[in-house]
Amino acid sequence: MKVPFEKVLEKAQSYKADMVKFLRDMVAIPSESCEERDVVLRIKEEMEKVGFDKVVIDPMGNILGYIGHGKHLIGMDAHIDTVGIGEIKNWTFDPYKGFEDDVHIGGRGTSDQEGGMASMVYAAKIIKDLGLEDDYTLVITGTVQEEDCDGLCWQYIIEEDKVRPEFVVSTEPTSCRIYRGHRGRMEIKVSVRGISCHGSAPERGDNAIYKMAPIIEQVKELNEKGLAYDPFLGKGTVTISQIFHKSPSRCAVADGCWISLDRRLTVGENDKTSIAEIEALPGVKAANAKVEMYRYERPSYTGLLYPTECYFPTWVIPEESVFVQSMKQGYEGLFKKEPVIDKWTFSTNGVSIMGRYGIPCIGFGPGDEKEAHAPNEKTRKEDLVICAAMYAVLPGLYLENLKK
C-alpha cells in the first residue's frame, strides 16, 4: 500500500484542536504515580469516542487500546502518570489549569508525557479515517507508575497480560527527533552499622556516620576518575542522592548510617558489575558495609502489588535496523527533510521493553526533555500534529519494509 503522506498530514492538522482539548483535559486531572485512575478513565472515554476496536484496563491499571486485527502486533506507549508540582511559587501559572496560546500548551504532564498519549489516540483515528489498516494490530498503552519505577508497567504487560509486540514506540518527549536508546540506571543502598553510646563520651561507641565518611569520598572519586564510556550513550555515572542515619537521640553516637546511590549505566555495565565496584571500595571493605539494590514495593492505584528490583537496564537499537529506518522514512515522507537521530538523557519504559526483554524500542514524542519535572512545563501544539502523523504512517511503512 502506498502511504498517503499528504493526506495523513492534512488529517493530523485537522485534529489539532481535538488533541489540544484532550491533552488539556488530561493535564487538569492530577495523576501522580499510583493515583492515575481518573486520567485512565478519561483516556478510555477518548479511545472509545474515536473508534478503537477494543479498550482494556488491566489489573495493574494500565490502559490498552487496540485497533486492527492483523498478525503483526505493534506497540506504542505513553506513561500517563506525572511527578508532583514541586514548589508552587516557581510556577507562573496553575499547573493543572494550565494555559494555552497560539503555540504552546502549559501544565504538568504536557511534555512528560501526556502529549504523547494525545497524539497516539488521534493517530489511531487517522488510521481508521484513511483506511490504513493492514496486516497489523496496533496496541496503544497508557501506562502507570513509570515516574516511580520505570518499566514496571511493561514487566506486567509482558509477563502477566501476555502482550508482546514486535516493536514498541516510546512517545516520551524527543522534540520530534528519533531516539534510539539511553543509559540504564539502578538504585543502590550502602549501609554501615555502629554502636551507640552517650554523646558526652563518644569514644565508648562506634560512630556509623564517621565510618560512612570515607565511603562518601570514594563514591565521589569513583565517578570523577571515570566509569565505562560508550561513544553514543556517553559515560556511566554515580552520585549520592540521599543520606540517612539512625541514633537513639541527638545526644548519642549514631549506630546506623546509609546512603542511596543513583547509578547511571552505559553500554557494558550492569547490576552485577556496578554492585561489585561499590563493594570494592576501601571504605566499604573497612566498614564491612552492606551493598544492595533497592526494591520497589508500592501498590498501583488498583491495589495491585508487583515488586521488582530497582535495576533498569541500558538499551540501544542500531540505526540501520528496520525500526529506525521505517521511522526515518516516515519523517522524510511527511516533512521532506532529514530527521535528527539521537538519544535520551533520562530513563524510559524502554528499560523493560528492550533492556529487560529485548523487544526493539524506538523513541519519537512531542515536547522537550528539558521540560520534564520542571516548573512551567509546556509543549508545542504543532508537535502533537507531527507525532500523530508519524504514528499513523509508521505501522504501514514497517510492514512494507518487512516485505523487502
Domain final residue pick, 270, 296, 322: 296
Active site residues: 81, 146
Asked if 306 and 300 touch (Cβ cutoff 8 Å), the reply is yes
Examine the domain organization and report whether 221 and 152 are in the same domain.
no
Looking at 262, 296, 330, the residue that finishes a domain is 296
Residue 304: CA count within 13 A, CB half-sphere? 16
Q: Does 16 lie in the same domain as 126?
A: yes
Q: Could you report the per-residue pLDDT of 128-185, keeping only the tens digit for each?
A: 999 999 999 999 999 999 999 999 999 999 999 999 999 999 999 999 999 999 999 9
Using an 8 Å Cβ cutoff, are 311 and 256 in contact? no
Across the chain, which has 404 residues, the per-10-residue mean pLDDT values are 92 98 98 98 98 98 97 98 97 96 98 98 98 97 98 98 98 98 98 98 98 98 94 97 97 98 97 97 98 98 98 98 98 98 97 98 98 97 98 97 89
Residues 37 and 96 in one domain: yes
Tell me, yes or no, whether 152 and 226 share the same domain.
no
Are 204 and 333 found together in one domain? no
Pairing of strands 256-265, 237-246: antiparallel
For 26, list phi and psi in degrees, rounded to 5: -65, -45
Q: What is the pLDDT of residue 2?
A: 83
What percentage of the chain exceeds 70 in pLDDT? 100
Residues 66 and 162 reside in one and the same domain: yes
- Judgement on whether residues 150 and 260 belong to the same structural domain of the protein: no
- CATH no. for residue 263? 3.30.70.360
39 vs 25: CA distance, rounded Å: 9
pLDDT of residue 1: 67
| Number of domains the chain contains | 2
Q: How far is Cα 210 from Cα 287, in angstroms, rounded to an integer?
A: 10
60 and 79 in a single domain? The answer is: yes
- Give the global pTM: 0.95
Residues 231 and 145 occupy one common structural domain: no
Residue 306, in any domain of the structure = no
Give the pairing type, strands 341-342 and 184-193. Answer: unpaired
Burial class (CB in 10 A: 0-12, 13-18, 19+), 289: buried
pLDDT digit string (tens) for 334-386?
999 999 999 999 999 999 999 999 999 999 999 999 999 999 999 999 999 99
Pick the last residue of a domain from 296, 324, 347: 296
Question: Mean pLDDT of all residues in the chain?
Answer: 97
**CATH code of the domain covering residue 57:** 3.40.630.10
The label of the residue with cell 493515583 reads 35
The residue segments making up the domain with residue 381 are 5-182+314-402
**Residues written for the chain:** 404
- 177 with 69, same domain: the answer is yes
Residue type, 197: C
Q: Establish if 387 belongs to a structural domain.
A: yes
Residue 46: the pLDDT is: 98
At 179, list the grid cell: 531516539
Whether residues 11 and 105 share a domain: the answer is yes
Q: What CA–CA distance (Å, rounded) separates 366 from 375? A: 18
302 within some domain:
no
